[in-house]
Structure 1
Amino acid sequence: MSAAAADDGPWLDEAAGRLVRPFTASDGRTRPTVALDLMTQVMATGATPLGYLGPEHAQALDRCRAPVPVAEVAAHLALPVAVTKVLLSDLVDRGALTTEPPAVHHHPTDRALLEAVLDALRRQL
C-alpha cells in the first residue's frame, strides 16, 4: 500500500479503489430536485450553505468557483453523473450554487460539433 493510499484511510484501497458505494454520497437518492443536464453550467454564489454537507458536497462546491458544466464536476469527483446531479441540486437548494443553461451556440446534433467532441475523446484515450 502506498503512502497516499494509507493517508486516505479505510475508504480507499489501492487495488480495489473506492470502498464506499458512490450513492452513499447522496444518501441513496438518485433524483435531483433541480433539472440539470450534462452541459448545465453551475457556479458558486459565495453563500455559505446551511446544514451538514458531506465531503463530496464540499469538493463539488470548491470545483464550481467558476462556471463549470455538470459533466466536468462529475469527472472531477469520480462519481456517477446521477450522484453528482443530486449533490449539485442539494447545493442549489441551499443557495450555494446557481445554474445556467449550457453555453453552447451550436445545435447539439451539429456534425462539426460532434466530430470535435469525438476527436477530443480519442485524444484522451
Structure 2
Amino acid sequence: MSPEGHDPPLWFDDDAGPVVRPYAMTRGRTRSPAQSRLDLIALVVVEPYAEDTGVVLDRSLSPEHVEIVELCDLAPRSIAELAAGLDLPVGVVRVLVGDLVDDALVHVTRPVPPAELPDESILRDVISGLRAL
C-alpha cells in the first residue's frame, strides 16, 4: 500500500519495459574479441555456408543471434541498423555480432574511410579524359 491508501499500479506487457536486461543477453560481457572492428557503420554479412547448412538453427544460439543472422541474410546491415531493428543498445549488438564472427557465421566489412577515397579532382580529370575520347 502506498502512503495515499491505494495500491500502486501494476505493470503488464509493454508497460513493464524489457524483461531481459541487456547484460543478460551478453552474459555480462561488454566487449568481444572482434570489438575493434565493430564501429557503427561496419557492415555485417552472413557467410554463405551459414544459411545453406542450417547452422542458424543451432540450439546454442540465442534468439537475438538468430535474428541478427536472419536480418543480415536479407541484405548486409550496419551495426547501427541492427541495433535500431532489434531495439537493443549498440553495445549489446556489438557483443552479439562479435560472437557470430567468432563462430564464423558472419563477417564484418568496413566501408572505405574518406581519407582513402580518390580526390575529387582526379575523378573530374578521368571524366574529362573519357569525354575527350
Fold match (TM-score > 0.5): yes
Displacement of 1:67? 1.2
Instruction: State the match for 2:79 in structure 1.
Output: 70
Q: Could you tell me how far apart the structure 2 residues matched to 1:72 and 1:88 are?
A: 12
Change in 2 beyond 3 A, CA 1:67/1:61? same
Displacement of 1:51? 6.4
Q: Within 5 Å, which residues of 2 pair with 1:8-87? A: 13-34=13-34, 35=36, 36-46=38-48, 47=50, 48=55, 52-65=60-73, 66-87=75-96
Q: Could you tell me how far apart the structure 2 residues matched to 1:98 and 1:90 are?
A: 11
Asked whether the 8 Å contact 1:43–1:67 carries over to 2, the reply is: yes
RMSD: 1.9
Name the structure, 1 or 2, with higher relative contact order (CA <8 Å, separation 6+). 2
Change in 2 beyond 3 A, CA 1:52/1:90? same
Unaligned runs of 5+ in 1: 1-11, 108-125
TM-score by length of 1: 0.68
TM-score by length of 2: 0.64
Give the secondary structure class of the aligned counterpart of 2:81: helix
Identity between Structure 1 and Structure 2 (%)? 40
Please say which structure displays the higher CA radius of gyration: 2
Give the secondary structure class of the aligned counterpart of 2:32: coil
Asked whether the 8 Å contact 1:31–1:86 carries over to 2, the reply is: yes
